Amino acid sequence: MNAEIETPITRLYAISNGTSLNFDPSGPYLIASWLGFAMSEEFRSFLDKSIGLIEEKVKEHGKLGWISDFREGKAVLDEDVQWATENWNSRASEAGLQYNALIIPENLFLGLAANDYKETTEQVEGIVVKRFKDIESARVWLSEVLNN
């Protein structure tokens, strides 16, 4: 009898407001779970820290997806969305990230910011971005694209 063994999700990094970066080896993917509002410095340092973790996990697994879970987030400043698009994306792509699943809440401001991010990302970088309303749909998509 082959029972499926669930692999634990590991917390790799967190900032003071509770926003965390977790690793799920079943994807494999990193899950950025945004909580509340992050000041620009926290937002950017969180994403800066993720670059080394992306490189590490790509070396270990050969592939990696990213889930940006904004369901518990409050807002992202326009300047930070622009910074992520123009700065973080190229570094994340160079580190080996190819797919980003955005989980968008009902919160209008985050939905608009994530929409701007998605449109710009698709035009400039090699990261494929797709929006979802729940984490399970994001995982299904990432499993499909990472295993093809």
Q: Let me know if residue 72 belongs to a domain.
A: yes
Classify residue 59: in a domain, yes or no.
Answer: yes
Domain containing residue 52: 10-146
Task: Output the 3-class SS for the chain.
Answer: CCCCCCCCCEEEEECCCCCEEEEECCCCEEEEEEEEECCHHHHHHHHHHHHHHHHHHHHHHCCCEEEEEEEEEEECCHHHHHHHHHHHHHHHHHHCCCEEEEECCCCHHHHHHHHHHHHHHHHHCCCEEEEECCHHHHHHHHHHHHCC
Distance CA 10, CA 24 (A): 7
Q: Which of the pair, 133 or 92, is modelled with greater confidence?
A: 92
Q: Which pLDDT score, from 0 to 100, does residue 103 have?
A: 87
Establish if 122 belongs to a structural domain.
yes
**Which residue is listed with tokens 């971005």?**
129
Residue 4 lies in a domain: no
The mean pLDDT value for 110-132 works out to 60
In a domain, 106, yes or no: yes
Residue 120 lies in a domain: yes
* 69-110 pLDDT per residue, tens: 988 887 778 899 889 988 999 999 999 999 999 887 665 455
**Residue 3 within any structural domain of the chain:** no
pLDDT reported for residue 67: 96
CATH number for the domain that contains residue 52: 3.30.750.24
What was the pLDDT predicted at 1? 45
Residue 51's pLDDT is 97
- The count of structural domains within the chain is 1
In a domain, 1, yes or no: no
Q: pLDDT for 4-61, tens place per residue?
A: 556 688 999 998 888 999 999 988 999 999 988 888 999 999 999 999 999 999 999 9
Task: With a cut of 60, say whether residue 113 has pLDDT above it.
Answer: no
pLDDT at residue number 118: 52
The per-residue pLDDT for 129 is 87
pLDDT value at residue 139 = 93
- At residue 117, the pLDDT reads 54
